[in-house]
Each structure stands twice: as C-alpha cells, then as structure tokens.
Amino acid sequence: MKLLITLLSLTFFSCNDHHHSSLKEKLHKLDQSMGGKGPVESEQILKDRLDDFSYQKSRWNKKNDFYVLERFDKFKIGKCQQCHDSSKKIPNSASNHKEVSLLHANKEVMNCKTCHNTKDTWNLHMLNNEKVSINHPYKLCSQCHFEQVEDWSHGAHGKRVGGWHGKRVIKNCTSCHNPHKPQFHNQMPKVTPNFLKYKR
C-alpha cells in the first residue's frame, strides 16, 4: 500500500516538468515564436507621463532608438547669453565663474577649457574640437567614460523616465551627475530599517 502511494506520488511529481526548464530555454523558445519582435504596442499607455518631459532623439545607439532629456532649460545659474553676448566684451579672467569648483579629474587632466569654449558658450567641444550640444553631453563624457556611456545607451547605467514600456526616454549624464562635481552625496537613509527593532 505504501509502495503504491509512493509510486502514485512519483508520477504526480514527475509531471511538473515545466518547473525545471531553465529561464534561458524559455526565453529562447519565446523569442523564436515571436520572430524576434518585441511586445505589441497595444496602446499609448505612457503618452501622458512623457508629456511632462522635453526630450530629443539620440543617435548614439544605431541599433535601438532612444531619447534623452533636454538639459538646456535646467540651468540654475542663468542663461549663458546674459553675459556671453557677442556685443559685450568680457574680460578674460580666471576669476570668472568662481562659484563653479571643478572637482572632476585632477588639474593635469582637466580644466574648464577641456569641455567649454569661451567663444562658443552655447556648446561644448570634444578633444578634436568638434562641437557638442549641451543636450547631448554624453558624447563628451564618452571620451573618458566610454564604458559607462556604452552601458548607459543600452540601459545598464542611468535612469529611464516614463516607464518600462513605449518610447525609451532616458536621463542625460548631466541630469544626475554635476559635471563639475560628479560624486554622489552622503545622506541618512530615508527609512529606519524594519530589522532594527529586533537588534539588541
């Protein structure tokens, strides 16, 4: 009787084959069945949310389109053209923009002129002096941080806005990192951990 029960239960338990196929196999199978396409865009679920942001298309990643948040209207100091107007003459002094402290790379590697051009303050410039828009600073950052930018363009670094579905709009490098002082800050954790009440 006991043997019968064991045998019976074995047949039941062995039926659950689907529990043991690996995730990778499942992915492969489903990929193939869908012809390698992504999910169906059934509705513009996130249109409202993305409307809160201003973004531009990036051509960095040739394979998959994505959009980056604009940076131009985010500057707190003020619009550059208030001073940098072609009509005005500005003394070339190192004491300008004293409020900005550069804590990025060390002095031998980087100074203001590495990225900024006093003659064309609307834009940044690469090592080969090619112009870079302030809305696409990643081109500049990739000169040194090419690994991070590569990761960022594919989603392994940085933040996406809007949602996981639909148009891929991601934050720019400078949306999170202050280019002059990129380090993250220290703070207290936002909540007391639940486990704290059990610790003596």
Partner 1 sequence: MRNFISNLFKHNKKTSSSQCPVFSQDKTTTRVDEEKGAKQILDKKQNRRSFLKGMTATAGAGASLMAVGASNLIDKDAKEKAALKWEEFFKGNYRVMTEDEKKATVKRLEELSRINNNQNVSISADAPLEGVLFGYAFNISKCQGYGDCIEACIEENNLDRKSNMQYIKMFEMDHGKLNVESGDAAYFHQVPKDDKFYIGTQCMHCENPPCVPVCPTGATWKEKDGIVVVDYDWCIGCRYCEAACPYWARRFNWAEPEVPKEKENKNQHYLGNRKKMKGVMEKCTFCVQRTRKGQEPACVEACPTGARVFGNILDPNSEIRYIIENKKVFRLKEELGTEPKFWYYMD
Partner 2 sequence: MVRNFIHFCSDSFKYSLSGKNLYHVWMGTLTFFMIVGAFFYSKQVTHGLVVTGMNDYVSWGLYISNFTFLVGLAAAAVMLVLPAYIFSDKDFHNIVLIGEGVAVGALLMCLAFVTADMGGPERAWHLLPGIGYFNWPESMLAWDVLVLNGYLALNLFVPMYILFQRWQGKTPNKKVYLPFVFLSIFWAFGIHLVTAFLYAGLPARPFWNNALLGPRFLASAFAGGPAFILLLLGVVKKFSNFKVDAQIKSKLALIITVAAQINLIMLGSEIFKEFYTPTEHSISAFYLFFGVGEHNALVPWIWTSITLNIIATVTLTIHKFRSNPKFLYPSCVILFIAIWIDKGMGLVIPGFIPSPLGEFVEYQPTLVEVAVSLGIWAFGLFVLSVLVRLGFAIEQGYLRKNQNSN
Residue 2 interacts with partner 2 (CB under 8 A)?
Answer: yes
Q: Which of residues 10-29 bind partner 2 (CB under 8 A)?
A: 12-13, 16
Min. distance of Cβ 192 from partner 1 in angstroms? 6
DSSP E strand stretches across 40-105: 55-58, 66-69
Q: Which residue has the tokens 């402290």?
A: 101
Nearest to 138 by CA among 128, 151, 149, 125: 149
Task: Report the residue number, 2 or 37, with the smaller CB distance to partner 2.
Answer: 2
CA distance to 10, 100, 161, per residue, from 37 (Å): 40, 47, 23
Piece of the chain touching partner 2 by CB under 8 A; list 9-17, 96-104, 115-123, 144-152 = 9-17
In degrees and rounded to multiples of 5, residue 75 shows phi and psi of -70, 135
- The two beta strands, 131-133 and 160-161, are unpaired
Tell which one of 1, 40, 77, 109 touches partner 2 (CB under 8 A): 1
First to last CA, the chain: 53
Quick one: which of 59, 70, 42, 69 has its CA closest to 166?
42
Residue 9 binds which one of partner 2, partner 1, none, with CB within 5 to 8 A depending on kind? partner 2
Q: Which stretch binds partner 1 (CB under 8 A): 32-40, 107-115, 118-126, 134-142?
A: 32-40
The answer to the question of residue 120 lying near partner 1 (CB under 8 A) is: no
Nearer to partner 2, 2 or 62 (CB): 2
CB under 8 A: which stretch of 52-60, 68-76, 109-117, 145-153 binds partner 1? 145-153
Question: Residue 89 or 199: which CB sits closer to partner 1?
Answer: 199
Query: Contact with partner 1 (CB under 8 A): which of 23, 77, 94, 109?
Result: 23
Q: Is 92 exposed, middle or buried (0-12, 13-18, 19+ CB in 10 A)?
A: exposed
DSSP, residue by residue, 23-83: HHHHHHHHHHHTTT------S-TTHHHHTTS-EEEE-S-SSS-EEEE--GGG-SS--GGGT
- Contacting positions for partner 1 (CB under 8 A): 16, 19-20, 22-23, 26-27, 30-31, 34, 36, 38-40, 42, 45-46, 49, 63-64, 147-148, 151, 154-160, 162-166, 168, 171, 176, 184, 186-199
- Contacting positions for partner 2 (CB under 8 A): 1-2, 5, 9, 12-13, 16, 195, 198, 200
